Chains A and B, each alone.
Chain A
Amino acid sequence: MAKTAETAALTDTRHATGMLATGSPSAAADRGDSGEASEDGGWDLAAIRAQFPILSRDVNGHPLAYLDNAASSQQPLRVLNRVERYLREQHANVHRGVHQLSAEATEAYEGARRAVAAHAGTGDAAEIVFTRGTTEAVNLVASSWGDAFIGAGDEIVLTKMEHHSNLVPWQLLAGRTGCDLRFVDVTPEGTLDLDDLDRLLATRPRLVACTHVSNSLGTVNPVREIVDRAHAAGALTLIDGAQAAPHMLTDVAKLGCDFYAFSSHKMCGPTGVGALWARRELLEEMPPYQGGGEMISEVKLEGSSWAKVPHKFEAGTPNISGVVGFGEAARFLADLGSDAIASHEDALKRAALERLDGIEGLRLYGPRDERTAVFSFTYGDVHPHDLSTILDQRGIAIRAGHHCNQPLMDHFGISATARASFYFYNSPQEIDALCDGLALAAEVFGGIA
């Protein structure tokens, strides 16, 4: 494994080889880098990038600068190889056979559950339910818990910065049950208005469902604070961790929440798989989400009894290879170390903020502090789609649009932003590339109006 990465590093020198706030002092001196102090000396960006084959491709004749990580991240060789090994050597259906392959597949699948549980910060792997992703995890709670325990007149508190996937499932539940949805306001800086939360808690809602990190503003919400206030008012809490889990080791015990949802494909794993963490008692009292094989204990024509958690919620043959890749991604992140990831991302964030701040006509949304390296902005009258097309000609991938956050866009009176979202494998050179690309956009548009 290490050998593969090394070889790749040697053959791919075109791409950013700089290190940020890390690396040996001599390497920093070589680059004439005034640089920041090294806090996690082990961070070798070139070697890390070499583990992501896609990062060395060209797009439109330029080295790819992949800045759309909030939409989906790339996968390292370790994950790709693990999935391939599973498919080549271990595939069979899980939990069903007595033969060797089925045992190996089941062990790979359940091993992934332990790795993902460790990432979420629970020692009880049975508290991890595999889903298709964050979206399905939220839908699972809204259908299973919601249909069983929510009735007409009950209140559910969401926020105005929710991704559509933590909004629409609740709208559907409201349609089915007649419960009411309330929304915590967002301040002009793009943080949650906690006074407004208190007002909404006064009428004792049943659930507060809110995002950990905003996918368009990068805001890191004070989850522990929100959870404590919600619990004090007698409400359960669901946290959408899609944008947090990739960047930080989650500790559900520290957060204190009741449900936590996240997706594999935003944290170096494959698409089509994700997880719901929930406290075991909750999972035990919730009815199944879907019916079928795998989730049953005993089936008679008149009725059936359910398997134990988490299998009760995993009807049918699951996405086994996806889950295996998800588990490997969790191990990969654990090996990198969440402190090392955080410190590199923090350095990128500060560098990017400083550069973007200096660009005339650029308006950045979201708070200055308590944020991730996700930057939503508008640039003069250059529409985000045009910006994205122009940057793409330079190999720079950003996202343009409403980022599944239409109510939030409405809140700021805009219809779209450009969004550059960084991950730990991004380099300072890619910040330069982005800024150069913005200069090109200004040129194409004959100035920024």
Chain B
Amino acid sequence: MIEPRSRTPGTIDREIPTSLNQLYQEVILDHYRKPRNKGHLDEATHVITMNNPLCGDVIELMLRVEGGSIAEVRFLGRGCSISQASASMLTGRVLGKSLEQALELSGKFTHLLHGDGAMLSDDDLGDLRTLAGVSKFPVRIKCALLAWNCLEELGDATDADSGSG
């Protein structure tokens, strides 16, 4: 028999469940509240906007690619802490990388979000590893990937360009 349990009004249980503590790490909230490289990039060579029509989150990623590598990157957007922190961290990690390397990072990050523990020791991911807690919240994976979808989209567009000669 199940133990009777009832909500006890008045006693506020403020103990934060572990899963939430892992999801909302300080680093993540810091990126959410003080996003890095947020703003317009006037000399962008590539601009991609992705939105999540179900929840209304939007990220616009602006890159300046020079001599084959990402020389400057900024983003604009609005949405939840996970989508915005992930975008902010992205801008820090892809700087100086070639598009190919950035896409490789995107792949690793996706593995991380799907619970691949091996990624936790991959230094290439840097502070992105603090987003590993998202793997416990499958419906939020798409939030964490929104900014990265911009990169993927850019990758696809570039492929198509070179494909058509």
Residues of A within 8 A of B (CB): 13-17, 63, 65, 381-386, 389-390, 393, 400-402, 406, 409, 415-416, 428-430, 432-433, 436, 439-440, 443-446, 449
Contacts and interface: CB of A to CB of B under 8 A. Distances in A.
A401 B6 contact: no
30 contacts: A13-B4, A14-B2, A14-B3, A16-B6, A381-B33, A382-B81, A383-B80, A383-B81, A385-B55, A386-B80, A386-B81, A389-B137, A390-B20, A393-B17, A401-B54, A401-B55, A402-B56, A415-B57, A415-B58, A415-B78, A416-B56, A429-B7, A432-B10, A440-B20, A443-B16, A444-B16, A444-B20, A444-B21, A444-B24, A446-B29
Contacts of A381: 32-33
Contacts of B158: none
Ordered nearest first, which 5 A-B pairs have the shortest CB separation? A385-B80, A432-B9, A383-B80, A429-B7, A14-B5
Contacts of A444: 16, 20-21, 24
A288 to B, nearest CB: 33
A393 B13 CA distance: 12
Nearest to A439: B12
Contacts of A429: 6-7, 9
Contacts, number: 84
Contacts of A445: 24, 29
B79 interface: yes
Contact of A393 (B3, B20, B56): B20
Given A389-B137, A440-B20, 17 more contacts: A13-B6, A14-B2, A16-B6, A63-B5, A382-B81, A383-B80, A390-B20, A402-B55, A415-B58, A415-B78, A415-B79, A429-B6, A429-B7, A429-B9, A430-B7, A432-B7, A443-B16
A363 to B, nearest CB: 17
A389 B23 contact: yes
B45 interface: no
A445 B81 CA distance: 10
